[in-house]
């Protein structure tokens, strides 16, 4: 509980107003998604926090879509379950990397869906990814708890 309160105070009072780590994480997700998209499209360019495909703005990466909140949720659970430091750090690092990679893939996928006018892009955006990523996070927690017994 103390960790949650401390994180929220630190984030909302100090980090968020400065854009730390949101701006850096958003830029990193954007760059990763653009690299992935460059395998499929010739003209990929940044536009603020958006991605342009062949000159058309396809997706904007909002602060709440950069994956930070999900990483914090995942890490909060990992930190609260007692185990040895090596195990905690390995699950924390690997899980965070997996969440980040999935978010890069999600962003590239959504950019392509919106660019191509896929009529179910909003459903994919708001539901499909959440189901997939929360299932992955839950699976990580289950693995963490099983081996911890």
88 vs 121: CA distance, rounded Å: 36
**Per-residue confidence in pLDDT tens, the chain, 149 aa:** 677 788 889 988 999 889 889 999 999 999 999 999 999 999 999 999 999 999 999 999 998 899 999 999 999 999 989 899 999 999 999 999 999 999 999 999 999 999 999 999 999 999 999 999 999 999 999 999 986 55
CA distances from 37 to 51, 62, 73 (A): 10, 19, 28
The whole-angstrom separation of Cα 12 and Cα 81 is: 25
- Predicted TM-score of the model (pTM): 0.91
**Spatial separation of the C-alpha atoms in residues 109 and 36, rounded to whole Å:** 9
Question: Which phi and psi (to 5°) does residue 2 adopt?
Answer: -65, -40
Reading the block at residue 108, the tokens are 């590239």
127: Cα separation from own chain's centroid: 15
């Amino acid at each position: 509980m103390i960790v949650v309160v401390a994180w929220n105070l630190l984030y909302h009072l100090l980090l968020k107003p400065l854009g730390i780590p949101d701006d850096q994480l958003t830029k990193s997700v954007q760059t990763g998604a653009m690299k992935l998209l460059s395998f499929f499209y010739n003209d990929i360019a940044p536009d603020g926090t958006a991605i342009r495909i062949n000159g058309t703005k396809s997706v904007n990466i909002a602060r709440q879509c950069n994956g930070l909140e999900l990483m914090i949720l995942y890490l909060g659970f990992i930190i609260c379950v007692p185990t040895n430091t090596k195990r905690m750090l390995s699950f924390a690092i690997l899980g965070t990397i997996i969440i980040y990679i999935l978010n890069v893939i999600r962003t590239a996928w959504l950019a392509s869906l919106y660019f191509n006018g896929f009529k179910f892009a909003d459903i994919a955006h708001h539901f499909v990814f959440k189901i997939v990523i929360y299932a992955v996070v839950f699976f990580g927690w289950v693995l963490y708890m099983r081996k911890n017994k």
